[in-house]
Structure 1
Amino acid sequence: MDFRTACIVLVSVVALTCAEPVKYMDCGSSVGKVSNVDIKPCPKQPCQLHKGQSYNVNVTFNSAVESQTSKAIVHGIVAGIPLPFPIPIDDGCLSGIACPIQKERSYNYVNDLPVKTAYPCIMLVVQWELKDDTGKDLFCIEFPVQIVS
């Protein structure tokens, strides 16, 4: 294989494995501003979440406040009703953020979203909040997903 062919194959593989930024809606980020949301793997939107698998969620945000701690709260919204969506680590300081959080700095919050086999196959909206030590939202985002077998 010549060099040009190898480069074309490499670029094609990288393009297929990179997820496009997820379309999200801000739902009340009162003390922060989200600039990007990525979910991997999520090759198309709404993201199809397969039962029994885990998905990597990466939220890039800028904090407008200082905070010693941060806590994530995740809900699945079904027919307008928020249902708890447990995640393995709810402490944002253990999820890619070096605490204490500083004012006017950018952070990458990274966590896993496990999809239990017991979940029904359904379309829903995931609401993901990261709260500061006063209970205000460093970020609050919503994005549609579809749970599939």
Structure 2
Amino acid sequence: MDARFGFILGLCLMMGLTCATSVKFVDCGSSSGKVAMVDINPCTAQPCQLHRGDSYTVNVTFNSDVESQTSTAVVHGIIAGVPIPFPIPEPDGCKSGIQCPIHKGQAYNYATQLPVKSEYPPIKLVVEWELKDDNKNDLFCIRFPVQIV
């Protein structure tokens, strides 16, 4: 039974790796932290193709340079240079995989859902994702291209 469990676990891990890819991103002003990695699941190529009506998991691994009791996500879609607010289901980072309070020098994995509504038009855009600390400074600020299909 242990051999089958190990095989199934290994198979699941391999399947998970094929559905997510490390996303190339640009740091847009992470003043209170440093991003180590960004991935979107499922996303197998870049720019990530986000299908209307589906939901995606966004994972950001970062290190904090500050102490903070809270964290709040702010997301924009940048279309033709204009930032358009993009609501997400849970803007509270402390309810998105982060154990608050946030401590200086520690690594965190922020994980949340990115729903793509069926009424969104098919378009290429840049997503700007910020996670703000108590003082409204960016624990991280990243930009990455996506294509809504």
> What is the aligned partner in structure 2 of residue 128 from structure 1?
129
Aligned residues: 142
Deviation at 1:29, TM superposition (A): 0.1
The SS at the match of 1:17 is helix
> What is the aligned partner in structure 1 of residue 4 from structure 2?
none
Counterpart-to-counterpart distance in 1, 2:36 and 2:51: 26
Alignment of 1:98 with 2:135, yes or no, is no
The SS at the match of 2:21 is coil
Deviation at 1:118, TM superposition (A): 1.1
> What is the aligned partner in structure 1 of residue 87 from structure 2?
86
Alignment of 1:43 with 2:44, yes or no, is yes
> What is the aligned partner in structure 1 of residue 27 from structure 2?
26
Counterpart-to-counterpart distance in 2, 1:116 and 1:18: 21
Structure 1 runs, 4 residues or longer, greater than 4 Å off = none
> What is the aligned partner in structure 1 of residue 109 from structure 2?
108
> What is the aligned partner in structure 2 of residue 4 from structure 1?
none
Deviation at 1:20, TM superposition (A): 2.0
Instruction: Spell out, residue by residue over 1:17-70, the C-alpha distance to the aligned partner (whole angstroms, 9 max, x if none).
Output: 342200000000001000000100000000000000000000000000000001
Report the TM-score when normalising by structure 1.
Answer: 0.90
Which runs of 5 or more structure 1 residues have no equivalent in the other structure? 1-6
Counterpart-to-counterpart distance in 1, 2:104 and 2:128: 24
Question: How well do the aligned residues superpose, as a CA RMSD in angstroms?
Answer: 2.0
> What is the aligned partner in structure 1 of residue 3 from structure 2?
none
